[in-house]
Structure 1
Amino acid sequence: MALDAQGKAEAPHTGTTIVAVTFDGGVVLGADGRVSTGTYISNRASNKIQQLTDSIYLLRSGSAADTQAIGDYARYFSEQLAAELGRAPNVSTVAKLVSTMNYQNKEMLMGAMIVAGYDEQKGGQVYGCPIGGSLVQEQWAVDGSGSTYIWAALDDGFKEGMTRAEAEQLVVDALSLAMARDASSGGIIRTVTLDKAGATVKYVPGNEVPTWFEDLPAPGTAMAVG
């Protein structure tokens, strides 16, 4: 375990990349599969997309233990609320539930989350839910250590009224770009697409993740050797 200058144990450094993008009629969620503690990679195919209801999912980044606990509680309370209402809760209601738990435990949690889903009232929706308790609805959201590398790519790639295929491709491209540059993101890619037809889960194995080598020097050149 790493120690700081005072000889105390340092908190483990964790990282990931999570993305959610709305399109005309739904929303696409995606995450890489790498789990790391410092320089040690403990899992390359982890599932960071947690189902809360049939049409609402939670994207998790940061401490796996913290965000899994929040997700488990959110799923439990969502099931209880559905039993009381006689119908599934709205995306905004579940997102508010997650943000409330984040705020009430902000001194003890580490990480950031995104709640995304589909309901008949508002269609596909994305809510950024950082640990501090903020709740912001957005057309697209990204978080995790790899997010700093792809903000511009998503800002440029997102368009109003995107088709389902365009949104799915944007999520895969954004994740693969982050995985190419962020040492804490990698492994595989998982995506979930939500619309009125339900949820569609896809898996991109590591050997099929798009690569981005066009900006690297050609092998054998002076720049590559240097």
Structure 2
Amino acid sequence: MPPENSDPSGRLPLAFTATGNASFLDFLAAHAPGMLPIGRGLPVGEVPASPHGTTIVACSFEGGVVMAGDRRATMGSMIASREIEKVFPADEYSAIGIAGTAGLALELVRLFQLELEHYEKIEGTLLSLDGKANRLATMIRGSLGLAMQGLAVVPLFAGYDLDRRAGRIFSYDVTGGRYEEREHHSVGSGAVFARGSLKKLWWPGMTPSDAVRTVLHALVDAADDDSATGGPDLARRIWPVVATVTAEGYRRVDDDALTAAVVEVESARRATGATGGDQR
């Protein structure tokens, strides 16, 4: 027996046949607005405690970008998780890292991934990197109400621009402001310490392995001074999530390569008084 709300003629519902654009967000807004995470508000009152994720760093290198995120989530003064992942592929040629309210951030990432996949299927081509950055800005702007209540999500977006043949990095604020960053950037509670490290250790023409070591140094520097940022955990073998994006696409650095890089970083810091020194 067909469902009660089905069309007796057997035709598909209007949501599956109506002409629309290539935006999955617009599709949901028109046919299932209750499923949209953006635009929701909370009842007036005390903001509930929720896990927060920090810190995300990114830097460019010759032929692409690298992004890394620590694995710690905090809830007030407590460690909520030591193994949360904060860096994800947005699509084949871009990555997104999350800082802020963890649950909302993960939902934003999943919706952003669907938005880019939907566009590709409808249009038969990839959205440009600028287009991806703009779509993410629109999604963040839609969550301004939640941000004003203390549940902010501030991602870091980076990718390989197929037209310019170079890696690019974009940062955002809670109002949806989009800013292109040169060379490197960091967001999250440990960002100020990570940026200082990136300024000191980044140089033009870096190789991918140079860039991986540089972002690891930055996360360790952030963890030294920010209690909400977790550095590499040698005892538990918990490493930051590190990914590169090049003309070959998004690639997550595997644990074996990260183990070797972490050991190299720790050795360099011991040899130079925990400053990282000059890696060139």
Give the TM-score taking structure 1 as reference length: 0.83
- Shift in Å, 1:124: 1.1
1:111 paired with 2:153, answer yes
Q: 1:90 aligns with which of 115, 128, 131?
A: 128
C-alpha deviation, 1:14, in angstroms: 2.9
In the other structure, the counterpart of 1:165 is: 209
Check whether the contact 1:25–1:124 (CA below 8 A) recurs between aligned residues.
yes
Could you list the per-position Cα deviations for residues 104-137 of structure 1 after superposition, in whole angstroms to 9, with x for gaps in the alignment?
2212131311111113112211110222211011
Contact 2:50-2:102 at 8 Å conserved across structures: no
Paired position in structure 1 for 2:174:
131
Rate the CA distance shift 1:159–1:47 in 2: closer, same or farther, 3 A.
same
2:41 aligned partner: none
Whole-Å separation in 1 of the counterparts to 2:203 and 2:130: 23
Q: Work out whether 1:189 is the aligned partner of 2:240.
A: yes
Long gaps (5+) in structure 1? 1-6, 216-226
**Counterpart in 1 of 2:26?**
none
CA distance, structure 2, for counterparts of residue 61 and residue 102 of structure 1:
12
| Amino acid corresponding to residue 98 of structure 2 in structure 1 | R
**Offset, 1:176:** 1.3
Match of 2:65, SS?
strand
- The 3 A distance-change label for structure 1 pair 64 and 12 is closer
Whole-angstrom CA distance in 2 between matches of 1:9 and 1:156: 38
Aligned-residue Cα RMSD (Å) equals 2.5
- Counterparts of 1:137-152 in structure 2, within 5 Å, are 137-139=180-182, 140-152=184-196
- Whole-Å separation in 1 of the counterparts to 2:215 and 2:246: 16
CA drift at 1:98 = 0.8
1:21 aligns with 2:64: no
| Alignment check: 8 A CA contact 2:53 2:86 kept | no
Give the 3-state SS of the residue equivalent to 1:107 in structure 2: helix
Taking a change above 3 Å as real, the CA distance of residues 136 and 8 of structure 1, as seen in their structure-2 partners, is closer
TM-score (norm 2): 0.68
Question: Higher Cα Rg: structure 1 or 2?
Answer: 2
Identify, as 1 or 2, the structure richer in strand: 1
| Cα distance in 2 for residues equivalent to 1:163 and 1:107 | 41
Judge conservation of contact 1:95–1:129 (CA < 8 Å) in 2.
no
In 1, Cα distance between the equivalents of 2:246 and 2:47? 45
Partners in 2 of 1:79 and 1:179 — Cα distance?
35
Higher relative contact order (CA 8 A, sep 6+): 1
* Corresponding residue number in structure 2 for 1:218: none
